[in-house]
Amino acid sequence: MNIASVIVDVPAKQTDREFDYKIPEKWVSVIKPGMRVIVPFGPRKVQGFVSQLKEQSEHSRLKSIEEPMDLEPILNPELLELGDWLTVETLCYKISAYQVMIPAALKAKYEKYIKLTSDNGLNALSEEMKALFNGRDRMDWKEVLNSQAASKIQNELLKGNLEVVYQVKNKLNKKRVKYVEAVIPQEGIQEYAAGLPQNASKQKAACDYFISHPGEITLRELIDQTGTTAQSVKTLVQKNVLKEYEKEIYRDPFENRTFSQTNPFVLTDEQEEALRPINQSINTKSDGTFLLYGITGSGKTEIYLQAIDNALKHGKEAIMLVPEISLTPQMVQRFKGRFSNKVAVMHSGLSVGEKYDEWRKIQRKEVKVVVGARSAIFAPFENLGIIIIDEEHETSYKQEENPRYHARDVAIKRSKYHGCPVVLGSATPSLETFARAQKNVYTLLTLKNRLNSSMLPKVDIVDMREELRTGNRSMFSKMLFEKLTERIEKKEQTVLFLNRRGHSSFVMCRDCGNVMNCPHCDISLTYHRYSHQLKCHYCAFEVPMPSHCPECQSDYIRFFGTGTQKVEEELGKILPQARVIRMDVDTTGKKGSHEKLLTAFQEGKADILLGTQMIAKGLDFPNITLVGVLTADTMLHLPDFRASEKTFQLLTQVSGRAGRHKLPGEVVIQTYTPEHYSIELSGQQDFDSFYAQEMQLRKFNKYPPFYFLALVTVSHEDLMKTVSVTEKITKFLSSGLSSDSVVLGPAASPISRVNDRYRYQCLIKYKREPELRGMLKKIVEHYQKETHQDGLQISIDLNPHMLM
């Protein structure tokens, strides 16, 4: 096996295949599949992944691998195979599939520079060149391009006085710490110390320490404790009394924090019953997907913890995905508390280095459990016993860039390899998941009761149109204002939720609540400021912005949007005594600020927590007795067929924040469309009815889970070009696909222009289309040239979650 097939780090159609390289003699036994290597590729050097080893190659003149970048594979055989699967499943490049599975710190950086040829040195150069180099022996390629002397430099290159160097940099910095240890027995140190001159007090201090403390200590600590100096230690090392060495250490994002040990709770009968089949699956090493459908506060987390515990008892590992872990320090707390140092935590709040360290702990088998966001699904465990996806319905599990994978699909794929269960947990499962559970594709496990037999909060839905009629034009209804005042008097806490997504895009009549919808697509129209038109983003429908509501003729028809700052201001006016913490992108930008704000709120330093999506989940504070949703509609009218589902889920989640403990909770939902089923039913916390109704609509409109979707988005700086290409693609697809499938388009994307590029799309709804993948590939190939030269972009999302 002295030939390696390598996937090179060049994400392009033409290089999306294996290239064979000779393995130099000295590395024949070192290089294994899954390792990164540096290989010569054309004139440059690039990073690559060894995909397989072989004896023979089709190709005759092979180049040699430059050098390995790892000492052990960073992708194990399972992950290599998973990468192949991802490639097929999401139509991405193989290199992109591999890159997405490893921490960002391991991504190569490239450097190109010119340097003096060693034997001739600076002297061989002309005066002008000498001036340019200005005493240095190398010069960055960018500088070469910027300089006026490019052709002169080229001359020198030809003469051999200069050379171009391509370098692959593994920009990773392992954090290292210096350690010191005695190398001779204590008596020996004593003896040495006695022989020291009087003035060598620093050396003596260090010796004294080691006489009473055998074993290693960090240099830092030694200096701090004994007052010795690094220089004295160095002397002692030279005298062969001590030795100094470095150790790789981990940045610990949770250092200086203690996690009080927690023990398993006693499960309720209901929890017990849900846990049993999961444990059975772990015990029998059989794969299977479970939907743990439990209302908010029903104790899903404890089931996760005990299932993981069972997996660990079988000597297995566990992956636990959560939507955005930094949002729920409580969750980390619970895991670290239960499994202490066996847990690695991976989320977007960590630095690149910290993420790498956590990943290394997994790779080195130092931890057994990983808790993390989407990408943690690729944790390089080799003996998985369970995969859990909490808040399964969350959109963040779908990656919105290449490779466009869904963590749920990856989880199920991995579970089949390992023979272990996947547990999808939610109080408001996605329709896709719930439908599969109904069809027994997944096993349905239900938790109907809240723990501590706390009641679900009482929900009031307030019709804001009515408020308007009675002359209240503020963003707080009379009821919400009264309840707020009451909480402040009783020193209880309130969460105010402002749903800001879909800012100012949809148009609604403030008098009757009528929202302008597309007559063909059953989604809301989007207001376009420039043309003053309302457009549908699925089909090509558009109308001028009306001045009067088509339903009730009122002229109080507006597009929508309110920001958290504005709410905060208004709160200050109407409730000046209230202490408010605002949480949005502005106030949580800095690392750790999120947690600080939450902690402050938990400690009772504020009466009201005001925020957007980010406060919808995971908050579990006993003193919250009121939850207010300022405008429940904003998300409802996004141009997305999942808008109702999202609204229902969000409202249910937010409502679940109230009254989880002893104090009973109340929820006030303000809306302009109280009669909408997703708002009405979320008020009743009635998922089953919502599910039934939404499924009917999905069936009627041919959306998931009844149909699969594929989205082709074309973008180009020229509008006409964009439209015509999309049109051709649409035609090609409609002519080639079966008559059961629906091809919609060409239509402008909801975000119709990004970075001065127009975006058009074609949406395919299908039930069975074995040729689809092939056709999509053909499209990409067909436009390859234009993609390359003309800046045309075609992106394909199989199973899209955002139709943007």
Binding DNA (rule: CB under 7 A), the pick from 28, 30, 54, 59 is 59
In terms of CB distance, is 485 or 795 closer to DNA? 795
Angle at the Cα of 283 from the Cα atoms of 280 and 288, rounded to 5 degrees = 60
| Contact with DNA (CB under 7 A) among 25, 26, 29, 42 | 42
783 to each of 726, 746, 779, 787, how far by Cα in Å?
A: 11, 17, 6, 6
Residues 6+ apart with CB under 8 A from 190: 207, 211
Task: For the CB of residue 51, give the shortest distance to DNA in the complex, in Å.
Answer: 12
As given in the structure block, the two tokens for residue 584 are 């949005």
Which of 24, 53, 62, 432: binder of DNA (CB under 7 A)?
Answer: 62
Q: What is the C-alpha separation between 332 and 390, in angstroms, rounded?
A: 13
For the CB of residue 400, give the shortest distance to DNA in the complex, in Å. Answer: 20
Q: Does 789 bind DNA (CB under 7 A)?
A: yes
The least CB distance from residue 711 to DNA, in Å, is: 21
Closest listed residue to residue 41, CA positions, set 7, 75, 71: 7
Instruction: Decide: 535 and 748 in contact? Cβ < 8 Å.
Output: yes
Q: Is 165 in the site for DNA (CB under 7 A)?
A: no
Is 420 part of any known ligand binding site? no
12 lies in the binding site for DNA (CB under 7 A):
yes
The H or E element spanning position 793 is strand 793-798
From 16-24, 601-609, 745-753, 762-770, span contacting DNA (CB under 7 A): 16-24
Report, in Å, the least distance between residue 510 CB and DNA: 48
Helix (H, G, I), strand (E, B) or coil at 98: helix
Among 44, 458, 753, 757, binds DNA (CB under 7 A): 44
Q: Contacting DNA (CB under 7 A), which of 29, 151, 256, 735?
A: 151
Q: Which is nearer to DNA, 24 or 353 (CB)?
A: 24
Residue 25 binds DNA (CB under 7 A): no
C-beta closer to DNA: residue 169 or 788: 788
- Does the annotation place 539 within a ligand binding site? yes
Q: In this chain, which of 75, 99, 102, 166 binds DNA, going by CB under 7 A? A: 166
Where in 473-598 does DSSP place strands (E)? 493-497, 507-509, 526-528, 533-535, 542-544, 557-559, 580-583
57 binds DNA (CB under 7 A): yes
153 binds DNA (CB under 7 A): no
Residue 728 C-beta: closest distance to DNA, Å: 19
- 751 secondary structure, DSSP code: E
Number of residues that bind DNA (CB under 7 A): 28
Query: In what helix (H) or strand (E) does residue 7 lie, and over which residues does it extend?
Result: strand 3-8
Instruction: Provide, rounded to whole angstroms, the least separation between the CB of residue 5 and DNA.
Output: 8
509 marked ligand binding residue:
yes
CA dist 765 and 702 (Å) reads 7
Asked if 592 and 326 count as a contact pair (C-beta separation under 8 A), the reply is no
- The neighbouring-strand residues paired with 667 are 459, 627
* Residue 258 makes contact with DNA by CB under 7 A: no
Q: Are 734 and 690 in contact, with CB atoms under 8 Å apart?
A: no
Give the per-residue SS3 of 13-70: HHHCCEEEEECCHHHCCCCCCCCEEEEEECCEEEEEEEEEEECCCCCCCCEECCEECC
CB of residue 110 vs DNA: minimum separation in angstroms?
Answer: 7
**Closer to DNA at the Cβ: 41 or 703?**
41
Residue 146 contacts DNA per CB under 7 A: no
Query: Site for DNA (CB under 7 A): which residue of 14, 146, 256, 440?
Result: 14
Cβ closer to DNA: 95 or 658?
95
112 near DNA, rule: CB under 7 A: yes
- Taking the complex as a whole, the smallest distance from the CB of residue 61 to DNA amounts, in Å, to 7
Cβ atoms of 82 and 414 within 8 Å: the answer is yes
Q: Where are the alpha helices (DSSP H) in 640-771?
A: 643-655, 677-683, 687-701, 719-736
CA gap 337, 358 in Å, rounded? 17
Site for DNA contains 39 (CB under 7 A): yes
Whether 207 has a binding-site annotation, put simply, is no
- Non-local (6+) Cβ contacts of 82 within 8 A are 97, 101, 378, 410, 413, 414, 417
Interface pick for DNA out of 24, 33, 40, 561 (rule CB under 7 A): 40
Q: Does 552 count as an annotated binding residue? A: yes
Token pair belonging to 594: 């999120």
* Residue 447 near DNA by CB under 7 A: no
Annotated binding site for Zn(2+): 509, 512, 518, 521, 536, 539, 549, 552
Annotated binding site: 509, 512, 518, 521, 536, 539, 549, 552
Positions that interact with DNA (CB under 7 A): 10-15, 18-22, 39-44, 57, 59, 61-63, 112, 151, 166, 785, 788-789
